[in-house]
Structure 1
Amino acid sequence: MSDVLLLTGPPGSGKTTVARLVATDAPRPTVHVTTDEFYRAIRTGFVPPYLPGAQRQNEMVVDVIVATVAVYARGGYDVVVDGVIGPWFLAPFRAAAGDWRLSYVVLRPDLDTTLRRGRSRGGVELTDADAITGMHGGFADLGELEPHAIDTSSLDPADTAAEVRKAVASGDYLLNT
């Protein structure tokens, strides 16, 4: 049985850096899937995923990500998925997870830390303070999934990766499928 970890949180929370560490140091064959690459693949007609008009696009991209994860899991790989995967996008993962153990971990530094980290990124990464603030708010109240959040405000990437590994190993971050 494959393990699938959905490692999420707002932009700037450290998802990609931590996912890379968790996948690279995994004890079993593991794949790191970065959801940003699926969005970047859209060359014409792309809508920034945080805009209201992106809902249809976002649902389609999530379906493609779920299909990719399913193929890797069927092939015997564990999968670490990093991206902005709020509770509103969990249903397709849950539906596909018949033969995987599905864990959900939310990296949630405080807003000031998230903004500082997010705005200091370079390249094609999202650095807009209003967009980061809005997405941070989307993870502020997770309802029944609140126990899946880890405050990473004072943790560096290595310490965050250690906390994520510990969280997943505990079994407390598994999602009911």
Structure 2
Amino acid sequence: MSNVLLLTGPSGSGKTTVARLVATGAPRPTMHLTTDEFYRGIRTGFIAPYLPGAHRQNEVVVDAIVATVSVYARGGYDVVVDGIIGPWFLAPFRAAAAAGEWTMSYVVLRPDLDTTLDRGQARPEPELTDADALTGLHGAFADLGALEPHAIDTTLLDAPRTAAEVRKAVASGDYLLSA
């Protein structure tokens, strides 16, 4: 059975760097899927995903991501998905996990706002660096409700230490989501 890790959090939280470390050091064949590439592939009609008018586009992109994850999982690969996957986008992943019989862990990297802004604004183009957008995305992950135990405060952690915490979290089984 394949294992899927949804590694999420606001822009600037270190998802891509940490996902790369987790996937590279994995004990089984593992695919690192960066959701940003699915958005960057839209060449005409692209709407920044955090804008109000992007809802339908985001639904289509999430469906494409879920389909891709399913193909790799069905092929025997574990998948580390890095991207902004808030609780509002979990239903399609849960449905696919149930149908595809793969396990799924959900880990939210959540540094404090100042750290998120520092990290986010220091990134190169084409990454999101706008302070208002970064602040809004940070706020979207500030209260996860029932999923609050899935958040890891990474304010004081560098990438290797964060990757170690993510591996430990997934291994504990406490971050599994039910399908």
TM score, norm. by length of structure 2: 0.99
Shift of 1:104: 0.2
Q: Of the candidates 167, 170, 173, which is equivalent to residue 168 of structure 1?
A: 170
CA distance in 1, matches of 2:112, 2:137: 12
CA distance in 1, matches of 2:125, 2:53: 24
Q: What runs of 5+ residues in structure 1 fail to find an aligned partner?
A: none
Shift of 1:158: 0.0
TM score, norm. by length of structure 1: 1.00
Shift of 1:157: 0.1
CA distance in 1, matches of 2:90, 2:97: 11
Q: What runs of 5+ residues in structure 2 fail to find an aligned partner?
A: none
CA-to-aligned-CA distance 1:3-41 (integer Å, 9 cap, x gap): 000000000000000000000000000000000000000
Which amino acid in the other structure matches residue 55 of structure 2?
Q
Shift of 1:120: 0.2
CA distance in 1, matches of 2:27, 2:2: 12
Give the SS at the match of 2:80: strand
CA distance in 2, matches of 1:169, 1:101: 12
Runs (4+) of structure 1 moved beyond 6 Å? none
Q: How many pairs were matched up? A: 177
CA distance in 2, matches of 1:150, 1:18: 13
CA-to-aligned-CA distance 1:110-142 (integer Å, 9 cap, x gap): 000000000000021000000000000000000
Q: Which residue of 1 aligns with 2:76?
A: 76
Which amino acid in the other structure matches residue 79 of structure 2?
V
CA-to-aligned-CA distance 1:42-68 (integer Å, 9 cap, x gap): 000000000000000000000000000
Which amino acid in the other structure matches residue 91 of structure 2?
A
Which amino acid in the other structure matches residue 127 of structure 1?
T
Matched, 1:135 2:148: no
Q: Quote the RMSD (CA, aligned, Å).
A: 0.3
